């Protein structure tokens, strides 16, 4: 029997959890239809996580794109359909757009499989993003550099740990739901790979405890800076990124397996650790960096 | 003094057509090329690692290039011949990552900045920094002269200087302690 998975009107991090709740009872090889026809909004997290979902299906899922032309045009511009066509059986037409209109995108959806992809992403951000980070977010050069470093390190997580190709997208926008509409820059990195728990287990870096699971694996990696690689310098990338995000009053969340951990600033009300979520393989990482307030306060 | 252009190493030796130092694998490739060049130098020669042509450097690359170049090799690995190294062309674009990894490993480096000034970057305490600055300000002199200028006992001064020497942050000669290299 074919299951229909309804994509909520907002395909953001919370909306994607609704997708996963519906998916939880379906085996990987079940035939599913992902119905996004009534979706009116998609964030970088929602779009890259949806592509990741496509990667996890043993049987190609059917995808019904948004009816609203503006929405599907935005998804096309972000690069969603270019990659979705390989992962889903798309029913209905999708807008064809030339990829020249970058708008406030810092980086359209980009596949990541190898170290060379990290170089390309960093070079592209360095070329494209400077203007937006300077004029909209008012970030001074050192903060811009930190943003690029955070991007580089989070994307490397796929290459070093996932064991599977993934996706990155970055965008600047006015955060109207929070921060009184201030400009923010967001990086999202999603993969359907082994996830944090298995990565630590493979490196024999699992702490001896009865509490072991996805939540503790995320705590071990993010808070304690433990990497699956034993040499002393490993884990520096995530630790450095964490420091940068803290200094910029930004937010970092990582979902892996059945848990999500977050470095949550005062302007957001998410809980720092959520467990017993519907299982989703790999790691889905989201960074939000707020722009400067007048007077230079992040 | 031998100058190693890290940008050129990245493009030519490591064969990567980029100007940003990102990813561990890139850092390891660049470091191995630098190690080969350093190994060919006489033990007492100071080399300058020039980062002028490098756009940005991430934490992983800084750990692979800067920290691992200075760290003792793991047990059983061949000994490194890092020798004396001055870092040049370091900007704000590199400093955040470099400082972070140096503090993590308890390491320090000598940086000659574009404004002509030299500075210790990394994990050093106030005594070490003050003594190092005196060595640079004097251009190098005896332990006694440095002790007098610092207003410290001779044995204290010698201990601090020997520590700086063991960390490859000053040179030691018969006449006393000297900067690693000239600022100009």
ipTM passes above 0.85: no
Among the listed ranges A112-121, A220-229, B53-62, which one has the minimum average pLDDT value? A220-229
- Region A160-186: what's the mean pLDDT? 88
Separation of alpha carbons A88 and B112, rounded Å = 55
How confident is residue A189, by pLDDT bands cut at 50, 70 and 90? very high
Mean pLDDT of A200-204: 82
Q: CB A233 to CB B97 under 8 A?
A: no
CATH class of A102-298: alpha beta
Residue A29: exposed, middle, or buried by beta-carbon count in 10 A (0-12, 13-18, 19+)? exposed
Mean pLDDT calculated for residue range A174-202: 90
Chain A residues in contact with B97 by the CB 8 A cut-off are: 149, 240
Instruction: Check: CB of residue A241 under 8 Å from CB of residue A252.
Output: yes
What is the distance between the alpha carbons of residues A182 and B127, in angstroms, rounded to a whole number? Answer: 45
Q: What is the DSSP string of A113-179?
A: -SHHHHHHHHHHHHHHTHHHHHHTS---HHHHHHHHHHHHHHHHHIIIIISS-EEEEEEEEE-SSSG
Query: Phi first, then psi: what are they for A159, rounded to 5°?
Result: -65, -40
Size of interface A-B (CB pairs under 8 A): 87
- Does the pLDDT value for residue A272 go beyond 50? yes
The pTM score is: 0.86
Residues of chain B with pLDDT under 50: 184
Look at residue B184 in the predicted model and tell me its pLDDT: 46
CATH homologous superfamily of A1-92 equals STAS domain (3.30.750.24)
For chain A, give every domain's residue range: 1-92, 102-298
Q: How far is CA A126 from the centre of its chain?
A: 20
Q: Report the share of chain A in percent with pLDDT over 90.
A: 59
Say if A236 is an interface residue toward chain B (CB within 8 Å). Answer: yes
Residue B70: strand, helix, or coil: helix
CB contact under 8 A, A119 and B93: no
- For B6, list phi and psi in degrees, rounded to 5: -65, -35
Angle ∠(B73,B70,B41) on CA atoms, nearest 5: 95
Torsion from C-alpha of A36, A41, A46, A50, nearest 10 degrees: 20
| pLDDT for position A100 | 47
Distance CA B111, CA A122 (A): 26
Contacts 24+ apart (CB under 8 A), B74-81: B74/A231, B80/B35, B81/B35, B81/B38, B81/B39, B81/B43
Lowest-pLDDT choice from A232-241, A272-281, B158-167: A232-241
């Amino acid at each position: 029997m074919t299951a229909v998975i309804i994509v909520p009107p907002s395909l953001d991090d919370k909306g994607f959890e609704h997708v996963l709740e519906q998916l939880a009872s379906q085996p990987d090889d079940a035939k599913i239809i992902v119905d996004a026809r009534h979706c009116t909004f998609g964030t970088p997290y929602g779009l890259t996580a949806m592509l990741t979902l496509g990667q996890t299906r043993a049987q190609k899922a059917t995808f019904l794109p948004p009816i609203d032309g503006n929405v599907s045009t935005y998804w096309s511009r972000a690069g969603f359909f270019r990659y979705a066509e390989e992962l889903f059986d798309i029913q209905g037409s999708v807008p064809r757009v030339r990829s020249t209109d970058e708008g406030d995108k810092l980086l359209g959806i980009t596949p990541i499989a190898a170290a060379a992809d990290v170089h390309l992403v960093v070079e592209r951000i360095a070329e494209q993003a400077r203007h937006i980070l300077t004029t909209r977010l008012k970030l001074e050069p050192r903060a811009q550099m930190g943003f690029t470093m955070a991007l580089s390190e989070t994307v490397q997580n796929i290459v070093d740990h996932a064991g599977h190709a993934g996706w990155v997208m970055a965008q600047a926008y006015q955060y109207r739901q929070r921060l009184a509409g201030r400009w923010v820059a967001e990086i999202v990195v999603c993969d359907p790979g082994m996830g944090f728990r298995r990565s630590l287990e493979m490196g024999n870096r699992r702490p001896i405890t009865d509490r072991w699971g996805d939540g503790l694996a995320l705590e071990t990696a993010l808070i304690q800076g433990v990497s699956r690689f034993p040499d002393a310098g490993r884990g520096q990338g995530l630790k450095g990124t964490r420091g940068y995000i803290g200094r910029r009053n930004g937010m970092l969340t990582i979902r892996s397996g059945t848990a999500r951990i977050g470095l949550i600033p005062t302007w957001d009300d998410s809980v720092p650790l959520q467990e017993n979520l519907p299982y989703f393989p790999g790691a889905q990482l989201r960074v939000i960096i707020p722009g400067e307030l007048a007077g230079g306060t992040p | 003094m031998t100058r190693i252009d890290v940008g050129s190493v990245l493009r030519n030796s490591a064969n990567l057509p980029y100007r940003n130092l990102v990813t561990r694998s890139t850092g390891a490739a660049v470091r191995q090329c630098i190690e080969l060049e350093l190994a060919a130098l006489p033990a007492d020669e100071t080399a300058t690692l020039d980062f002028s042509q490098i756009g940005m450097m991430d934490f992983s690359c800084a750990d692979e290039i800067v920290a691992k170049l200075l760290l003792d090799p793991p047990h059983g690995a061949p000994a490194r011949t890092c020798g004396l190294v001055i870092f040049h062309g370091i900007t704000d674009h590199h400093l955040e990552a470099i400082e972070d990894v140096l503090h993590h490993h308890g390491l320090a480096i000598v940086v000659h900045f574009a404004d002509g000034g030299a500075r210790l970057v990394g994990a050093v305490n106030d005594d070490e920094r003050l003594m190092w600055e005196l060595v640079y300000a004097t251009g190098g002199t005896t332990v006694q002269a440095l002790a007098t200028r610092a207003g410290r006992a001779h044995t204290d001064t010698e201990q601090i200087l020997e520590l700086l020497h063991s960390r490859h942050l000053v040179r030691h000669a018969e006449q006393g302690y000297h900067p690693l290299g000239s600022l100009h």
